[in-house]
Amino acid sequence: MPEIVRERHVAAGADEVWRVVSAMDSIASWFPTTREVEKLDGPDEGVGRVQRVKYRSGARNATLDAEVVDWAPNERIAWLQVREFMGTKQAPILARNLVTRIELEPAEYGTNVRVSASWEPEGLKGELAEKTVLRPRTERIAAGVLGSIEAECG
């Protein structure tokens, strides 16, 4: 199963970092070319929240829906991609179990932040898309999360 992992130490407490990573509105600062983020279902905070991210993919409008599957305040959050649309058509499934995780660990003088994403490529198209779509996008999201944390928390 392919996975990317990025880690960074930030000079802020886990509670400050948590406010950045758990707020649905902050997704717009991490996810490339985001136009809008909205809650589709579930609670405002916690497991079961389904969020929709509307973004640009090249010249096309796209939509990604994800469900929060793990939520431990000041410790970790994870979401599972449930579907994606290119324009108005559902995009082909290139990967199953695409999960993005953010884990926070208190450390001396701040917090260690670990951002990871893993997935299971679906068929030959998924294996080809791993290098051209899945890995680059998850790398940009991980870099965006860490950049957003540093910008907000110092």
Residue 45 sits at φ, ψ, to 5 deg, of -135, 140
The Cα–Cα gap between 150 and 111 comes to 11
Domain boundaries, the chain: 3-153
pLDDT band at 45 (very low <50, low <70, confident <90, very high): very high
Q: What is the pLDDT of residues 60-118, one digit of tens each?
A: 898 999 999 999 999 999 999 999 888 888 887 778 899 999 999 999 899 999 999 99
How far lies 127's CA from each of 75, 116, 143, in Å? Answer: 32, 19, 23
pLDDT value of position 84? 87
List the end-to-end C-alpha distance of the chain, in Å, as a whole number: 34
Cα 153 versus chain centre, distance? 18
Number of Cβ atoms within 10 Å of the Cβ of 131: 10
pLDDT value of position 74? 97
Which run of H or E residues covers position 27?
helix 27-30
pLDDT value of position 50? 97
Provide the Cα torsion 50, 55, 61, 64; round to 10°.
-30
Question: Is 91 in contact with 84 (CB distance < 8 Å)?
Answer: yes
The CATH superfamily of 3-153 is START domain (3.30.530.20)
Contacts of 15 (CB under 8 A, 6+ apart): 74
Per the structure block, which two tokens stand in for 90? 């559902």
pLDDT band at 126 (very low <50, low <70, confident <90, very high): confident
pTM of the predicted model over 0.85 = yes
